[in-house]
Structure 1
Amino acid sequence: MSTDAERDPEWPGATHVPADELARRQGVEPVAGLEQLARPELFESDDELDRFLADLYASRRDGVILARAVTDSVCDQGGAGQRR
C-alpha cells in the first residue's frame, strides 16, 4: 500500500490519500476496545433510542428501494450492468 498521495483519475484535480496515511497525518490511533466508543449519555431515554433506530432502519430500507428502482430503470432502458 502506498503512503504517498496519488492523483485520482476519477476526480481530476483531487488527490487520493490512503486511509493509513490520513490517520498518520492526523495522529489517529486505533481503537483499543469497544468501551472507547460507548456513549451511554447519547440518548436521554430508551424511547428516544427506539425512535432513532426506527428512523435509521426506515431510511436504509428507503435507500435500498431507491437503488433498486434506479437499477431497474437503467436495465429497462438496456443500459450496462443489467440485473436480469
Structure 2
Amino acid sequence: MSTPDADYSGYPPPRPYMSVEELLAAKNTQPIRSLDDLAADTFESDEELEEFLAFTYAERRRDVA
C-alpha cells in the first residue's frame, strides 16, 4: 500500500542559496542608526521590570549550588 507521502524524506526541501546582502534586501531591512532604533516598551512599569530581573537572577543562580 502506498501513501501520498511515500517520497517524503522528513527534511524540508533545499532552499536556493542567498547571500546575506540578498536576504537583508528581501526583508527590506535597514541598518541600525542609533540606540533609539532598538528601544522597545517591553515592560509596563518599573515594578514589572524589577520582578522580571529578580526572577531571571534567581533562575541563573538556581543550579549553581
Q: Which has the higher contact order (CA 8 A, sep 6+)?
A: 1
The structure with the greater share of residues assigned to helix is: 1
Structure with greater proportional strand content: 1
TM-score, normalization: structure 1? 0.41
Report the structure number with the largest CA radius of gyration. 2
* TM-score normalised to structure 2 length: 0.50
